[in-house]
Structure 1
């Protein structure tokens, strides 16, 4: 083996592994994957020999199939990685063996078995989120310690799922048994971060830390212990300056004013307190004022509330070309649909939420409305 000398302490004699698995007996076989067949065995803790009568530990033995498409490089990488990192959400490495044509990796045996056998059962939505969160924690740990880049080109969602997300119809392809359980806020947070993982440009994909944070938020909304969260940001995360317009517990959104043309120049809000006092914010974007586009106003009824938003993210042209901005906005309420405002171009976004969840907007703005996101609160 073109090995790293520092790993020699992990070498296990092939004879010990054969004794532990009864010479790779079918009675010890427990599974098969892309690497090869997996066996369960009892390996001496001292890694001397099972004939010694010394204490043993239960192990999972993965035997490389040379025809399986994984060779020396993958074999070495897995050993190096698992010997370097220890985490509750990563399987523990016991050692390895490479003698003759045999390439074997030995792990601590997980008594609950492989994850795939649970994925084939009727899981609840909370269980699905907990599994995703556990995997994300393990990957976040690896990403924070690995040198170099890891870029898995496999996609988390199929083309159909991506299309349905963009259409705002993701619920149509969710298993009916799970669809009945999912709270809207939990689904939209989960699906939004999953969709971002599909960006073709790896630099535009979210970090594992952000994925882990959003999965935790989705789980908290599902089990009802989350009070407030932010969704988005759609558009640019660096352009302009940050702004926030969060509703107080005694406030209600009564009007939105939008300055728009081929993209959104600015947006402003008027809120009303329970006593009837109106308060209008400054315009976010348009360099703090109007920019010569068309001015549109949305005036909400007293019992009307925003229940979703959709739009597109585009790139400016002309004199100030190349800026990533919000190019179109449309607001859904419990009564009607307002918009669209602006011009449909670029990347679409669409997020619904439960009635009673909306709690304000935030974003980034300079000469344009560079980015937009929403505040949501948990509903009982």
Structure 2
């Protein structure tokens, strides 16, 4: 391996690695990859007063014969040549006639695939992880040097490692290729390699590899993070087998929320979700020319994270049951009317806006699907003046049917207070909880929340600053199509608000 002669400073005696891993004991075993087995180890420090270095040791499986040698050499050369905060760190290697071993810095939180379904991993954490991985891949595509780029060829969640601070590190460069950048589209013709579920369909069909093939794979990872499941589930023999197919089906039906991790939906700011899902779908575009660069992916993920962190959310009512909804004002719209269905609790909301041409547009009715058969429901309407704007909201939450429902609701504008709507004395005071939230004039941007067949989860209020900069506010309304036959009446009501 003459290629490695210049890297002798990275060589580690094999006996030292055996000692560090307790002779590759089962207790030190971390996992199995295509290259071979991975073990945890402790390399001693050259300074006896300093603690040793915890490492991950990848040992080439001798049963592979010579099949793994190319990947072994490629990985060493790649990681020795290219350094970035979001790439795994190579500490050293060992190779002789019988053993080939790679030694990396040990990343405490393991690989991303082990955490996909964790309810402890927040939406903000997931966004940071995705952003870090995107920055690492952007570096490979655009930042490694003049005239060339690195095509990873095996982007997947198990190849994204997480350090003690949940910072993402791209790993496993054994299949990587180097291509030129002095062409409109860098492409290499190779035998298709990678992992099913992540592979670019065009690469699989033609063997033509481009940087957009990595982008496609990264889009699959984004949806793994969003939906909390792997790219492929073998036991499923329908559309659920491949996540890339499943998300496209739900996109067409407008039911993406049905496959998102439920507790993440409660944390997400709508615009953060919209930006994230939009760029993820762009990555999966069948037309390679329509896929984004990793630079654009980084910018969009930064935008999604910035909005998620900028807003402050308050939550009242149950966080389960029903389904989510979102009403969001366009930059050229004013809220002119709110229609409220209520009796002893809040059943439904519907919003009417006026655009810059003076045309009125009404949203769908959120909640109260059974109200047509309920003669006790009262319909109230709030008509706003042209210069009137909501600056606050208040109400009460009470317990009924074993659930916490929004029982009264008031809207505060810069001119007056409307309400309360609902029956404030229906539920005894000891079972009620009051809530209120206010925000600056000019910052109101919309509502979102959860609703059921006989009840409403009021939305969260959003400010323009929380959604986008005023000069760049091109947010679109997301429509939530619901499977109404699935939800039983009297589901929980949740009311969220947020302010800058």
TM-score grouping bracket, smaller chain normalisation = 0.5 to 0.7
Partner SS state of residue 374, structure 1: coil
The separation in 2 between residues aligned to 1:60 and 1:4, in whole angstroms, is 21
Aligned to 2:22: 22
Partner SS state of residue 12, structure 1: coil
After TM superposition, give the deviation of residue 94 of structure 1 in Å. Answer: 0.6
The separation in 1 between residues aligned to 2:118 and 2:331, in whole angstroms, is 42
Partner SS state of residue 180, structure 1: helix
The separation in 1 between residues aligned to 2:469 and 2:92, in whole angstroms, is 54
User: Which of 145, 149, 154 is the aligned partner of 2:143?
Assistant: 145
Partner SS state of residue 210, structure 1: helix
After TM superposition, give the deviation of residue 38 of structure 1 in Å. Answer: 1.4
- The 5-angstrom pairing of residues 60-99 of structure 1 reads 60-66=56-62, 71-99=68-96
After TM superposition, give the deviation of residue 27 of structure 1 in Å. Answer: 2.3
After TM superposition, give the deviation of residue 158 of structure 1 in Å. Answer: 1.6
- The 5-angstrom pairing of residues 164-243 of structure 1 reads 164-225=250-311
Q: How many pairs does the alignment contain?
A: 261
The separation in 1 between residues aligned to 2:33 and 2:138, in whole angstroms, is 24
After TM superposition, give the deviation of residue 55 of structure 1 in Å. Answer: 6.4
The separation in 1 between residues aligned to 2:50 and 2:474, in whole angstroms, is 62
Query: CA, structure 1 residues 74+253, in 2 after alignment: closer, same or farther (shift >3 Å)?
Result: farther
Aligned to 1:42: 42
Aligned to 2:11: 11
Aligned to 2:397: none
The question of whether the paired residues in 2 share the 8 Å contact of 1:34 and 1:68 is answered with: no
The question of whether the paired residues in 2 share the 8 Å contact of 1:92 and 1:108 is answered with: yes
The separation in 2 between residues aligned to 1:62 and 1:5, in whole angstroms, is 21
Aligned to 2:53: 57
The separation in 1 between residues aligned to 2:79 and 2:290, in whole angstroms, is 28
The question of whether the paired residues in 2 share the 8 Å contact of 1:62 and 1:104 is answered with: yes
After TM superposition, give the deviation of residue 247 of structure 1 in Å. Answer: 4.9
More strand by share: 1
Please give the per-residue CA displacement for 1:144-192, whole angstroms capped at 9, x wherever unaligned.
Answer: 2342452643541520102212333211211222223222211111111
Query: CA, structure 1 residues 44+379, in 2 after alignment: closer, same or farther (shift >3 Å)?
Result: closer
Consecutive unaligned residues in structure 1, runs of 5 or more: 227-245, 255-269, 273-297, 307-332, 335-352, 364-372
The question of whether the paired residues in 1 share the 8 Å contact of 2:127 and 2:305 is answered with: yes
Query: CA, structure 1 residues 202+98, in 2 after alignment: closer, same or farther (shift >3 Å)?
Result: farther
- The 5-angstrom pairing of residues 247-326 of structure 1 reads 247=331, 299-301=358-360
Structure 1 window deviating more from structure 2 (143-152 vs 208-217): it is: 143-152
After TM superposition, give the deviation of residue 68 of structure 1 in Å. Answer: 6.8
CA RMSD between the two structures: 4.1
Bigger relative contact order, structure 1 or 2 (CA pairs below 8 A, ≥6 apart) = 1
State yes or no: 1:102 paired with 2:77.
no
Consecutive unaligned residues in structure 2, runs of 5 or more: 154-198, 201-216, 221-242, 313-329, 337-353, 365-445, 448-459, 478-496
User: Which of 362, 368, 374 is the aligned partner of 2:474?
Assistant: 374
- Alignment TM-score, normalising by the size of structure 1: 0.57
The question of whether the paired residues in 2 share the 8 Å contact of 1:185 and 1:354 is answered with: no
Query: CA, structure 1 residues 305+355, in 2 after alignment: closer, same or farther (shift >3 Å)?
Result: farther
Query: CA, structure 1 residues 197+18, in 2 after alignment: closer, same or farther (shift >3 Å)?
Result: same
Query: CA, structure 1 residues 183+67, in 2 after alignment: closer, same or farther (shift >3 Å)?
Result: farther
Please give the per-residue CA displacement for 1:20-52, whole angstroms capped at 9, x wherever unaligned.
Answer: 2121112222333333221122224459xxxx9
- Alignment TM-score, normalising by the size of structure 2: 0.45
The question of whether the paired residues in 1 share the 8 Å contact of 2:31 and 2:37 is answered with: yes
The question of whether the paired residues in 2 share the 8 Å contact of 1:189 and 1:217 is answered with: yes
